[in-house]
Amino acid sequence: MTGMQAGAGTAQSAVTYANLWQDGRWLRNATVQIDAGGKVAGVSASTPAAGAAIPGLTVPGIVNAHCHAFQRALGAWTQRAAGSHDDFWSWREAMYALAGRLQRDDLEAITARCYLELLRGGYTSVAEFLYLHRLGDRRALDADEAIALAARRTGMRLTLLPTLYQHSDFGGAPPRPGQLPFVRDTTQFLEDWRELGRRYPAGGAVALGVAFHSLRAVDIDTIGRVHAALQGDALCRCVHIHVAEQPAEVTGCQRQHGLPPVALLASRGLLSPKWALVHATHASEAELTQVRAAQATVVLCPTTEADLGDGCPVIAPFLEAGGRMAIGSDSNIGRSSIDELRQLEWSQRLARGRRNVFSVANEPAVADRLLRITHAGGQHAIGAAGGADFVTYDAQAGDWELQASADYLGSLVFDSAAPRARAVLIGGRWVMRDGTHPEEVEIESRYRETIGRLRRDIQSGQQHE
């Protein structure tokens, strides 16, 4: 899939890892053979020369199946109550204030820093759910270009999901002023999508899918029309939508259509293996059965869902029955795949009053099971198999070396303070070695300048309101 990224080093034909996790087992001194296309050609045991193997724990790079990079700026600005009742809907007002101020260079600077952090957090591929469409007075597709540039600079694989957004609520309610930077009519959206197809053809650095913001923001008939227009296009790898994140969305959908959100999509024949349903927090058991039957993917974003007070889905039975699940960083309050897996299990423990909720009889180690499920589910959610994509955590990432190998991942996920990947290989090229990225100084300084300026702008805007 996504080919040569500017941030990546020279192509490797083989890399030897001291400890490589493969399908729930640790291989010692495993040499990964890499073909000319950056895919894994084979894995074999070897006896490397002293110092030739990459030390530490190496696991497959995870797909971040749901990301809004611009929201990276918001985390610190939304941690004091907006009023006597603070929830998802009040958080959204802060997000609108930021979205309305961003210019193209701001978006690129924030995204590059975000993607660099996501690489350190064990992700090698991002699905960018891009509903922020208009940046200041600049022309259309600036936002898409800014995201693609940031991905190229960092070396992150990118699946761009241009996102249709038209209304403020069910029944075609007109957009509110804060939503105007997101809005496009259907004709313009399809023209823009086809232009992106010309800029990012198959096999290039950027893969394409399509997203519908939500059933609140896009009428179900329009979703059907746009889906029909794009589903035969080989460039369109996947279809994503936010669904059932909040109880108010479920009751609004029931009121308008007589069905909850997932059931409504299913009733229109819209669920298929290409679909990824983001959150599904308040989907019923019957709806999750419909998702599983369609072989669609549920994308959970555990740290964002915790930060926004969304709720905690009943997801373990869905997984036991063979349902597909991916993880995403969503608002980027968390930037680590390890943190998402830990939060996923811990939220379930709090809600169910049990431990090791995701454990099953033949796969008792929760961290290993969640890594296996989310690795496969992430690739499914973006319709791409990935390549020679590996991340390595070294001895600074916790006390895993003191444990039996069966507990290495459990130690890394549940017993380590903020582990960060030190080596990242994407498509057989080094994107990061020894904890450093070739662009990190420039990326860091642009991010700092951008955040400082935006914070002053937003604070002075609030004082004048």
Which residues contact Zn ion by CB under 5 A?
A: 330
- 172 DSSP 8-state letter: T
Catalytic residue among 330, 339, 389, 394: 330
Catalytic residue among 279, 282, 380, 437: 279
Instruction: Report the relative pairing of strands 123-130 and 324-327 from DSSP bridges.
Output: unpaired
What's the closest the beta carbon of residue 50 comes to Zn ion, in angstroms?
A: 47
330 labelled catalytic: yes
What's the closest the beta carbon of residue 449 comes to Zn ion, in angstroms?
A: 27
Task: Pick between residue 154 and residue 304 the one whose CB is nearest to Zn ion.
Answer: 304
Give the residue among 340, 302, 332 at the shortest CA–CA distance from 122: 340
**Residue 280 to residues 226, 291, 292, 300, 382: CA-CA distances in angstroms?**
22, 10, 12, 8, 17
Tokens, residue 424: 């990242």
Task: Pick between residue 155 and residue 302 the one whose CB is nearest to Zn ion.
Answer: 302
What's the closest the beta carbon of residue 299 comes to Zn ion, in angstroms?
A: 9
66 labelled catalytic: no
Separation CA 333–CA 107 (nearest Å):
17
Tokens, residue 329: 């960083």
Task: Pick between residue 330 and residue 389 the one whose CB is nearest to Zn ion.
Answer: 330
Give the ranges where 246-336 is alpha helix by DSSP (H).
247-257, 261-267, 285-293, 302-307, 316-320
**Residue 448 to residues 77, 80, 335, 435: CA-CA distances in angstroms?**
15, 22, 17, 20
What's the closest the beta carbon of residue 383 comes to Zn ion, in angstroms?
A: 19
Task: Pick between residue 30 and residue 253 the one whose CB is nearest to Zn ion.
Answer: 253
Separation CA 262–CA 316 (nearest Å):
18
What's the closest the beta carbon of residue 281 comes to Zn ion, in angstroms?
A: 12
Active site positions, annotated: 279, 330
